[in-house]
Structure 1
Amino acid sequence: MPDHEISLGSKKRILLIGILFIILCIALLARLFFIQIIKNKEYSKKAVQQRMMSISLGADRGNIYDRNLIPFTGREIHKYIIVYPAYIQDRDTAVSIISKLSGLSRDAVAKKINSNADALEFLYENRDDELLSFIESGKLKGVIAIEKNQRYSVESIGRHVIGYISKSDKKGEMGIEKSMDNYLSAVTGKSIIAVVDSSKNIIPGLGFRKVEASSQGINYGIKLTLDYHIQNIVEEIMDKNDINGAIVVMDIKTGDILAMASHPDYEQDNIQKYINSNGEELINKAIWPYDLGSVFKIVVAAAAIESGKINLDQKYICEGSIAVGNSVINCSTHKSHENREITIDEAFALSCNTTFVKIGMELGAETILNMARKLGLGEKQCYEILEEKAGYIPNSQEEGIGNISIGQGKIQVTPLQVTAMMASIANNGIKYDARLIDELINEDGGTVKKIDKGSPRIVLSPTTAYRLKRMLRDVAVYGTGKQANIEKFGGSSGKTGTAETGMKNGNIIHGWFTGFIPSNDPQYAITVFINNGRSGGGSAAPIFKQVGENILTNIKR
């Protein structure tokens, strides 16, 4: 082959290799440009994130508010000592200072720091500004002081409604925290970030810093129908009188639950304390079923008026007891009306058992029990709180007419159901669904979604409701509920109940009073239930009066 042909082929190959080399260099330069310039921030962030540790500054949950946007949660800010054990250089000094500031023993602090935890937090309990300043100056490596929102506090109210979250995964375990967990837990929060190098030294200029997590969509809060001030009134009265029971307050015109309290109370940050307790602290008694007693005479009276089966002008004589089958039912108020004839209205006001048994036998069990269900007894009233129980209204084959006529035996209802029934009567027979959640709101308190109120329905004729309201007024004027009357504010109307439970050989007797105020212009339906209160007129009625007077004195609507 000629020399000039070999030379020409070599030149072509060299040219091709050169072109490929130039293309490769251009590609490498383009890649470097992409990494160094285009993706610089992203890769830098990823590199830093590999050496970042964070601790939340809050529960990362939406807050829960009352109807006027007064918060039930996140009301307090506490100072915490945050510790990153891996970055502590002087462990003995750190343990000593943290022990003094937190009030924990040195051994307890050392045990936590020597654990495998990435980050720890200690509540700043013992005020020592000098030691705190030492930490805030950054001289104690791996330890910082921050302010952090406290989800709950010792002053928290409405605890059985609000519920609590688990400490491990921050999920709602009870109350609104549980039923609305999907919305409340969608919130993103602020964190403290520690940025270190490969040797676990804090990077100068970065160190510890507060960051706000990016958020997709809306951070939800929950606006309840509860009124913070009414809730507080109720709880203060329960505390003052050492009441074991429940109180519910409802807006008659809307079905909004304005207060729902249950005692004894519990600490939302210390649930473990009550796991093996017999004190029923974790039970919301407002939505728990109990024996009702003579409050059920409202149902019997409603059935008597509505059905047309009873001559409402008929007179009855109470002999002090009445035999029904193999049972004898006594009248505990016999002395108030012995040796005289009384009408259904007087029998209701004086809570005469024998008269109501006679009326019950004329009506028949089925008529009474159907009225109970029509008024909402035996069914859940508020699906916004998952712990609510339905109670129990038996059928006519399960329970004798004697017990049915006076609300004894297997009949069990919740204070919320009783309050809703009373609100329907006070509202001229119109029933609204009981509501606890008003709307979902954003961080600025603006409405995101209004919760449907449902349609009102007629459960009693206006004539029946009018007659019942008059009978309920008589109870407070001259009957068994005189201690509930608030005459100076337009009067009280209501019904007492003393319920024999059969528990502990019949020694447990619940006290009830349910009613509405003011009588001349009904606004609030209120139910007071006292566990083992012994007498509705003696225990629950005076508490009703205290609650009513405080609401009408202090709440302006």
Structure 2
Amino acid sequence: MKTHDHAQVQLLRRILLGIVVVLWGALFFRLIQIQVFEYERYQPLSQKNALRLETIAGTRGTIYDKSGEILVENQPVFTVTITPIDYDTSNNQQIASILDIEMDEYIKRIDRARRYSRHRPSVLAAEVPFGPYSLLEENRWRLPGIGFRQQDKRNYPSSARASHVFGYLREADLDETQGSESIRLGDKIGKSGLELVYDPMLRGGLGERYYRVNALGQSLGEYTLASNERPNPIRGDDLVLTIDEDLQAYAERLMGDSKGAAVVMDPSNGALLALLSSPDIDLARLAGRLDREYWADINTDSLTPLFNRVTSASQPPGSTLKPLMGIIGQQMGLITPETVIQNTGTYRLGRDYADLAPPGEYTLESSLAFSSNTYFFELMEQIARQGKLDEWAGYLRDVGLGQPTGIDLGSESRGIVPDSSRMNQLFGPKRWGLGDLINLGIGQGVFSVTPIQLAVTTSLIANGGQRVTPHLVSERIVGGATREILEYPATPVTWIEKSTLEPIHKGMRAAVQNSVVSWLLEVPELEIAGKTGTAQNPRGQDHGWFTAFAPVNDPQVVVVVFMENGGFGSVSAAPIGSLLIEKVLTGTTNRAYVERHVDAYVPPDPDEDDENDGNDENDEEDGVTP
């Protein structure tokens, strides 16, 4: 019995030994197979198990002015990243101390990185000084999960600030990375201006690099794959602007700290030679690590420096509407260039509306020259009494009011063109009448335009009826070499004829010549045609407007100046516009006395101004006898 049991035990041992031998043999055979026969297949995979992938941002594109001067460029900065899955939290105190980050803030950044991705690197600290950066990089093998990037921040070498043109960058947040293969948490992306509108072009494309890690996730340095698997980062496109750096800087000097806007445009194609909204911001303080105190200041400043007045300050145009009224009145068959209207000094419609232009007979041309309100009250009354308000509003939309201009700066105000539907919304059906419409004829009441819209309509008057698209970018340079010219088609307003525009041109030219402040406006041999205006403001000082083109017989430049709370347009906005025209057409300015006026001008106290009973000021300075 014992012999039988012993034999069974020996058999079982042999079976188990055989199984072990077979298993070890199979394992050895598989090892030989992998190491020898399938080496080419598994060798890259084994490498990748010891590698970490890091994406690299492309260099952001440079922005040039029309002559090739650099306006916005890049400056190298150092960034420390974190890959949460590899990170060792025992290094928190050491790294936070080196980076000079409070521990609470440091923990928040780690948590934010985890929410973004445990496997992908995100920014832990941006714009790190070289000393701390190099110290961490020298010890990278001790710091698993910590990575290092040399990135760029924006630098502004230009004498022109142009903050509302360029715009600023901010770090991408979690929402902005969702669904995007090209934006990582902490990447700088455009938030306003051209940096926002052209961000996909300027930003370029991501590249990749691998670096070795050991079993603890510690970096062992960069690794280059034998195969050509690693895409290089794609440089962002450069942009060439229509802006003239010197002209832009000069316009900014003239505007100073005033609230307002200025537009200088080529009426033939909509190219913007200068564009500014004042006050502006210091982009350099937003270029690197966020200056939180400065950011809070500009967001709470009562002067609203982040607000782009060129595209979004929607205000009544005052008497600058009168040239368009003259064009539309002719098209509607209500007036001709020879139509004469008597001005007695008062226009009566339920109540008296003062007309500060000298009493006498006015044609279309002279009504523009001396800004007679009576002429345009009479025209608006005809439009209203004949039930043609919607037809009138349609013509205004044809020339570009009440809708975006399409400028390549992103969002813009549509302004208000009051048709019957809008009046019903504002006052209620059948609750408005002639008295609510009469002021529309002189650009007052429920009517508003933006400076860029007024520049488009003035260009249309200057160029013979072409509605241009205002724009800032003329070319993109792809890959640092290939130049692509951007096209901005104009829309012809076919119902505007040359004969319709002739009295408008003459009237606007005479308005500059006849002004009692013509010494501030006239430039020898340039023949400026223009119109001033004042937008009433029930909450403070009125707003001043000036729109002009020159030379009158061969228009090469259009200027619009808007002075928020500036008072009469003739003394606040027009001198600035005149100097800008001189600068464009002659390359310099030789009227220091006008510059002194601009520098010294202070708007009058609104409490000391005489009221006009809802009447435009008639460009009071134009009050000379026709």
TM-score (normalised: structure 2): 0.68
Query: What is the aligned partner in structure 1 of residue 322 from structure 2?
Result: 297
Letter aligned with residue 373 of structure 1: R
The answer to whether the 8 A contact 2:533-2:544 is kept is yes
CA distance, structure 2, for counterparts of residue 354 and residue 371 of structure 1: 22
SS at match of 1:358: helix
Query: What is the aligned partner in structure 2 of residue 9 from structure 1?
Result: none
Moved more, 401-410 or 23-32: 23-32
Query: What is the aligned partner in structure 1 of residue 395 from structure 2?
Result: 371
Q: Which residue, 296, 301, 311 being the options, matches 1:287?
A: 311
Pair 1:77-2:75 in alignment: yes
The answer to whether the 8 A contact 1:347-1:355 is kept is yes
Query: What is the aligned partner in structure 2 of residue 209 from structure 1?
Result: none
Pair 1:360-2:377 in alignment: no
Shift, 1:147, TM fit: 6.0
Letter aligned with residue 251 of structure 1: D
Letter aligned with residue 526 of structure 1: V
Query: What is the aligned partner in structure 2 of residue 15 from structure 1?
Result: none
Shift, 1:493, TM fit: 1.3
Q: Trace 1:196-211 onto structure 2 (pairs within 5 A).
A: 197-199=214-216, 203=220
Letter aligned with residue 252 of structure 2: E
Q: Which residue, 170, 173, 177 being the options, matches 2:195?
A: 177
Q: Trace 1:265-276 onto structure 2 (pairs within 5 A).
A: 265-268=280-283, 269=286, 271-276=295-300
CA distance, structure 2, for counterparts of residue 439 and residue 303 of structure 1: 36
Pair 1:244-2:262 in alignment: no
SS at match of 2:533: strand
Deviations 1:27-84 (A, max 9, x none): 65453247654554564245121xx777x677x65455545555544x2415447587
Q: Trace 1:411-490 onto structure 2 (pairs within 5 A).
A: 411-447=447-483, 450-451=486-487, 453-458=489-494, 460-479=496-515, 482=518, 485-488=521-524, 490=526
Shift, 1:387, TM fit: 1.2
Query: What is the aligned partner in structure 1 of residue 611 from structure 2?
Result: none
CA distance, structure 2, for counterparts of residue 481 and residue 40 of structure 1: 85
Pair 1:231-2:248 in alignment: yes
The answer to whether the 8 A contact 1:292-1:413 is kept is yes
Shift, 1:476, TM fit: 1.3
RMSD: 4.3
CA distance, structure 2, for counterparts of residue 549 and residue 88 of structure 1: 65
The answer to whether the 8 A contact 2:207-2:233 is kept is no
Pair 1:513-2:511 in alignment: no
Q: 1:362 to 1:392 in 2, by over 3 A?
A: same
Identity fraction in percent: 24
Letter aligned with residue 433 of structure 1: T
Unaligned runs of 5+ in 1: 1-17, 99-105, 207-211
Shift, 1:458, TM fit: 3.4
Letter aligned with residue 496 of structure 2: L
CA distance, structure 1, for counterparts of residue 235 and residue 212 of structure 2: 29
Query: What is the aligned partner in structure 2 of residue 254 from structure 1?
Result: 269
| Equivalent residue pairs, number | 505
Letter aligned with residue 560 of structure 2: T
Query: What is the aligned partner in structure 2 of residue 392 from structure 1?
Result: 416
CA distance, structure 2, for counterparts of residue 369 and residue 139 of structure 1: 71
Q: Trace 1:26-41 onto structure 2 (pairs within 5 A).
A: 28-33=31-36, 36-37=39-40, 40-41=43-44
Q: Which residue, 344, 350, 367 being the options, matches 2:370?
A: 350
Shift, 1:197, TM fit: 3.7
Query: What is the aligned partner in structure 1 of residue 47 from structure 2?
Result: 44
Query: What is the aligned partner in structure 1 of residue 440 from structure 2?
Result: 404
Shift, 1:199, TM fit: 4.8
CA distance, structure 2, for counterparts of residue 463 and residue 457 of structure 1: 14
CA distance, structure 1, for counterparts of residue 248 and residue 230 of structure 2: 34
SS at match of 1:151: strand
TM-score (normalised: structure 1): 0.75
The answer to whether the 8 A contact 1:510-1:536 is kept is yes
Moved more, 342-351 or 221-230: 221-230
SS at match of 2:194: helix
Moved more, 526-535 or 222-231: 222-231
Pair 1:162-2:166 in alignment: yes
Query: What is the aligned partner in structure 2 of residue 381 from structure 1?
Result: 405
The answer to whether the 8 A contact 2:523-2:578 is kept is no
Shift, 1:97, TM fit: 7.3
Q: 1:481 to 1:424 in 2, by over 3 A?
A: farther
The answer to whether the 8 A contact 2:211-2:222 is kept is no
CA distance, structure 2, for counterparts of residue 90 and residue 22 of structure 1: 45
Q: 1:213 to 1:353 in 2, by over 3 A?
A: farther
Q: Trace 1:46-65 onto structure 2 (pairs within 5 A).
A: 46-49=49-52, 61-65=60-64
CA distance, structure 2, for counterparts of residue 278 and residue 35 of structure 1: 72
